Amino acid sequence: MIMRAHLRLSAQILLIAAVAAIFFFHSACEAANELYAIRSWSSPSATRIVLDIKQRAAYKILTAQKPEHIIIELADFGGRVPAPTVPINDGIVKIVRASRTDSKTIRISIELEKPASTKVFQLEKFMDKPQRLAVDIIRQDLERADTVHREETRKLKQRDTRIVVIDPGHGGEDPGALSPHGTKEKDIVLSIARKTVQLLNKDAGIRAYLTRKSDYFIPLGSRINIAREYGADLFVSIHADSSFSSKPHGTSVYCLSPKGASSNTAQMLAQKENASDLIGGVPLDHTNDDLTAIIVDLVQTNTLNSSITCAGLLLREVGKVNTLRSDRPQQACFRVLRDPNIPSMLIETDFLSNPKKEKKLKSEEFQNCLAGAIAAAVTKYAYEVKPRPSAEPPPTEAAGKQPAPKKFLKEPPAKASREKPQKSSPQIHTVKKGETLNTIARKYHTTPGRLRALNGLTSARKLKAGMKLKVPAEAGNR
C-alpha cells in the first residue's frame, strides 16, 4: 500500500516536472532572439556600439527623459544579459547599461557626454561575426570641427605644398583580410600608413594626413570626402591581401578602371575591397553615389593618367624592397579610388595568407621598408614628374590677366604608365663624415625628402662618408 502511494507521488512529481519543462521550452521558443555581447568602437567624432545578437532584432528607440540618454528596447529577447554595464568613456559615450524589463525585453541605455544624433541599423552575419545591431552615436559638433580643420588646412596650404592623404583600409567591424593565425589587415595597414605619414611629413614641401587614425571604420565614400576636404593632391589607399592558398605573395598596385578590370584577379580583388561598406557597416542613407557621373568625369579629366604614372613609380620603389606580382599597375573599379579630381591608387602590400609574408608584414623592419618605398614614390612624383611650382606668384604676362593656377599632378603625362620622369640632370655630392640628409639638404636648398627620392634612399639606409649622392641641379650649391 505504502509502495503504491509512493509510486503515485513519484508519477505526480514527474508530471509536474514535464509540464514545467514544456512551459519553459515554450517561453524560450517565444523569446526567439538573444543578446550575446556588447562591443564598441571609438572614432574622433562618433562611437559605434555593436550588439552581437542571434538574429535580426525587433527594436524601438524610446524618448529618454534626459537628452544625454539614448534608450533602445529590444523585443523578443530571451536568455541572459551578457553584461549589465559596459563603460566606454571616449568623450562621446560614458557608459552602456543593459537590463531586463520583463522576460522578453532587454533595455539598452546609453549615457552620453553631450546630446548627439543616433543611427541604428542591422548588420548581417559575416565570417565569425553573428548578426549585429549597430548603434552609431554621432557628435555633429565634433564632426563639423573635423571638417573645418580639414578645410582650413586646404585653404592655408601654400602653393608649393603638396597634400597627400594616406588611407589605411578597413578598421573597426571590418578587419579586412585575415591570416590563418588571426593577423588582421586593418592593424597591419594602419601601422604602415602611420609610418608613411611620418616619413612624408619630414619633407617641408609635403603635408600628409591619415583618413583614419586608429581602429574604427570609415565608409569608402567618407574616405574620399576626407581627401577632398584636405584638398588632397594625391590619395594612397594601403591594403594587404589574402588567398585560399598559402603560396601567393608579392605586391600589386591598382588604379581605377572606368570600364572593366585589367584581369579577373583585379576584378575579384576590387569586389573584395568594395565589400568593406557591407562588412564595416554603413547606414543605408550613406551608400548612394553617382558612379556614372564620376566615371564620365574621370574620362574627361586626366586624373586617371596621373594615377597610373604615380602607380608606376610606386611599383618601381616597392620593387626595391619586395617581390612584385606585376611590374605594371593593374586596374579595376575600386570604390575608394573614384574621386574624379584626385589621382588615387591602392597598394596591396602582400599576402597575409602566406606564413612567411605574414611574419614580414608584422615586422617593424618590413613595415618601415614599405613605408619608405611609398614615401619615396610619392615624393618622387611630387618633385620629379612635374616641376615644383614656385612659392612666389608667377609673373603676370599682361596687366589684368591672371595666370592660370598651376595644379599639382593634374596634367596628363604623355604616356601613362610607361612615361619616364622628366628629370633635370642632378649633380653629385660626396658625403662627408658627420653629414646628415638634413645638413646636405640645407646646403643645396632642398629637402631631405627630395634627396631620398632622387637617390632611392629608404629610411632604413644610413648615410656613410664617401657615398655619392645626387643633388638637384636647379637648386645648386649657392
The distance of closest approach from Cβ of residue 347 to Zn ion in the complex, given in angstroms and rounded to an integer, is 10
For residue 13, what are the contacts with CB-CB under 8 A and spacing of at least 6?
A: none
Going residue by residue from 259 to 298, which x/- string records binding to Zn ion, judged by CB under 5 A? --------------x-------------------------
- CB nearer to Zn ion: pick between 168 and 312: 168
Among 97, 184, 207, 239, binds Zn ion (CB under 5 A): 239
Ramachandran region, residue 148 (left: φ > 0; alpha: ψ -120 to 50; beta: rest): alpha
**Cell 572593366 sits on residue:** 260
The distance of closest approach from Cβ of residue 238 to Zn ion in the complex, given in angstroms and rounded to an integer, is 9
The residue with its CB nearest to Zn ion is: 239
Task: Count, in order, helices (H) and strands (E) of the chain.
Answer: 12, 17
How far, in Å, CA of 236 to CA of 320, rounded? 19
The distance of closest approach from Cβ of residue 144 to Zn ion in the complex, given in angstroms and rounded to an integer, is 29
**Cell 602566406 sits on residue:** 354
How far, in Å, CA of 184 to CA of 186, rounded? 5
Helical residues (DSSP H) of 124-250, grouped into ranges: 140-156, 185-200, 220-230
Of 86-94, 166-174, 254-262, 400-408, the segment contacting Zn ion by CB under 5 A is 166-174
The distance of closest approach from Cβ of residue 184 to Zn ion in the complex, given in angstroms and rounded to an integer, is 10
Question: 262, 255, 239: which is closest to 312 by C-alpha?
Answer: 255
- Which helix (H) or strand (E) is 86 found in, with range? strand 85-87
Of 155-163, 232-240, 260-268, 458-466, the segment contacting Zn ion by CB under 5 A is 232-240
Of 169-177, 307-315, 332-340, 417-425, the segment contacting Zn ion by CB under 5 A is 169-177
DSSP string for 397-458? SSTTPPPPPP-TT-SPPSSTTTPPP-PPPPEEEEPPTT--HHHHHHHTTS-HHHHHHHHT--
Instruction: List Cα–Cα distances, 321 to 182, 314, 344, 350, 374, in angstroms.
Output: 25, 11, 22, 12, 11
- CB nearer to Zn ion: pick between 271 and 363: 271
Task: Say what the alpha-carbon torsion angle 434, 435, 438, 440 is, to the nearest 10 degrees.
Answer: 170
* Residue 186 within binding range of Zn ion, rule CB under 5 A: no
- CB nearer to Zn ion: pick between 169 and 312: 169
- CB nearer to Zn ion: pick between 239 and 338: 239
- CB nearer to Zn ion: pick between 205 and 280: 280
Among 78, 168, 169, 281, binds Zn ion (CB under 5 A): 169
- CB nearer to Zn ion: pick between 135 and 352: 352
Count of residues touching Zn ion (by CB under 5 A): 4
The distance of closest approach from Cβ of residue 366 to Zn ion in the complex, given in angstroms and rounded to an integer, is 18
The distance of closest approach from Cβ of residue 237 to Zn ion in the complex, given in angstroms and rounded to an integer, is 8
- CB nearer to Zn ion: pick between 93 and 374: 374
The distance of closest approach from Cβ of residue 174 to Zn ion in the complex, given in angstroms and rounded to an integer, is 9
The distance of closest approach from Cβ of residue 461 to Zn ion in the complex, given in angstroms and rounded to an integer, is 29
- CB nearer to Zn ion: pick between 104 and 272: 272
* Residue 168 within binding range of Zn ion, rule CB under 5 A: no
Q: Exposed (0-12), middle (13-18) or buried (19+): which is 148, by Cβ within 10 Å?
A: exposed
For the chain, the first-to-last Cα distance in angstroms comes to 121
The distance of closest approach from Cβ of residue 270 to Zn ion in the complex, given in angstroms and rounded to an integer, is 10
- CB nearer to Zn ion: pick between 203 and 273: 273
The distance of closest approach from Cβ of residue 218 to Zn ion in the complex, given in angstroms and rounded to an integer, is 13
How far, in Å, CA of 157 to CA of 149, rounded? 12
- CB nearer to Zn ion: pick between 139 and 186: 186
Of 75-83, 89-97, 233-241, 357-365, the segment contacting Zn ion by CB under 5 A is 233-241
Contact between residue 422 and residue 474 where contact means Cβ atoms under 8 Å apart = no
- Which helix (H) or strand (E) is 97 found in, with range? strand 93-102
How far, in Å, CA of 359 to CA of 366, rounded? 9
* Residue 176 within binding range of Zn ion, rule CB under 5 A: yes
Query: Which residues contact Zn ion by CB under 5 A?
Result: 169, 176, 239, 273
